[in-house]
A = this chain, B = another copy of it.
Amino acid sequence: MSIRIGIFGYGNLGRGVESAIRQNSDMELTAVFTRRDPETVKLCTENIPVYHTDSVLEHKDEIDVMILCGGSATDLPVQTPYLAKYFNVVDSFDTHARIPEHFANVDKSASESGKVALISVGWDPGMFSLNRMYASAILPDGKDYTFWGKGVSQGHSDAIRRVDGVLDAKQYTIPVEEALEAVRSGSAPELTTRQKHTRECFVVAKEGADLQKIESEIKNMPNYFADYDTTVHFITMDELKRDHSGIPHGGFVIRSGKTGFNGENNHIIEYSLKLDSNPEFTSSVIVAYARAAYRLNNEGQNGCKTVFDIAPKYLSIKSNEELRKTML
């Protein structure tokens, strides 16, 4: 029998989940839930019902794992604790500073309901967290580095769009190659914000706007750009659509550590991602963890869990025997 998946929220991430389910032969998409009028939502998969989120509890016996595809700012803090009362759930809550609070809320619901709730699944938090943790456990005497990019930052693109005279914009976060090389050399450098990443902005200005003023406003924007070396390119709307409509991302987690009786040997552990589509990769991670949520709940487990709590085997469609034989 397939694992029956529900998708709660149908944006970029929801579509990514829909697509990822097709690559996993032990899963099927059962239903999509939306806050919009379900009649107006057209899925990419045929013959799958779309329901309004208000009716979600009517379908609780049809779904093994509900995947929450809302945002971390306002959706997930409410939705995950609520839905964990009725479903095994997976979310991609990514406000790092609020994870302990979110964990506590979700754990309360899922412990009471006997369901499994996996939070903060994706690549950061998610696979990057795992790699930071594994590497620091292996090399206790060391230093962690996380670099992001090259990739589109939605938050920074939005910030540019709010500048007066800007029609549309896309911002790329780019790791500084020299900083990466310094880390890989084992020199364990101290790096400032400015030394780690640069920011590149592609901006469509309104006709007659003051380009110099826009550029200066972007470059001096506190929190978002002031601490970085920022480049601003003005382009046309056609160019933006043609050259910058993708949502690539990626990054690097590197640990540089020492071993030996005198710390004489250096080791570099590096994990990197180069992603054509940030939401589709995130969805792929989530779907693998949905398998884990289903299996763990079948084993009688419940409560809130993160990637740190899940033995790797639960993610794979292969049997334990097959894993040992083919992947170890």
CB of A277 within 8 Å of the partner chain:
yes
One digit per residue, 1 when the CB lies within 8 angstroms of any chain B CB and 0 when it does not, for chain A 305-321 equals 01111111101110011
In the assembled complex, the Cα of A130 lies from the Cα of B103 at a distance in Å of 26
In the assembled complex, the Cα of A284 lies from the Cα of B135 at a distance in Å of 10
CB of A125 within 8 Å of the partner chain:
yes
CB of A208 within 8 Å of the partner chain:
no
- Count how many chain A residues have C-beta atoms less than 8 Å from C-beta atoms of the other chain: 70
Among B16, B272, B306, contact of A324 (Cβ-Cβ < 8 Å) = B306
CB of A190 within 8 Å of the partner chain:
no
- State whether A316 touches B133 (Cβ < 8 A): yes
Q: Nearest Cβ distance between residue A245 and chain B, in whole angstroms?
A: 13
Q: Which residues of A contact B (CB under 8 A)?
A: 16, 19-20, 22-24, 44, 96, 99-100, 103, 120, 125, 127, 129-134, 136-141, 184, 186, 259-261, 264-277, 280-281, 283-285, 288, 291, 306-313, 315-317, 320-321, 323-325, 327-328
4 A-B pairs closest in CB distance = A265-B276, A137-B315, A265-B277, A268-B274
- Could you list 28 A-B pairs, sorted by A, with CB under 8 Å? A16-B259, A20-B259, A96-B328, A99-B325, A100-B321, A100-B324, A127-B269, A130-B134, A133-B323, A136-B316, A137-B312, A138-B281, A184-B274, A259-B277, A259-B280, A259-B283, A259-B284, A265-B277, A267-B281, A268-B272, A269-B272, A270-B272, A308-B311, A308-B312, A309-B311, A309-B312, A309-B320, A310-B312
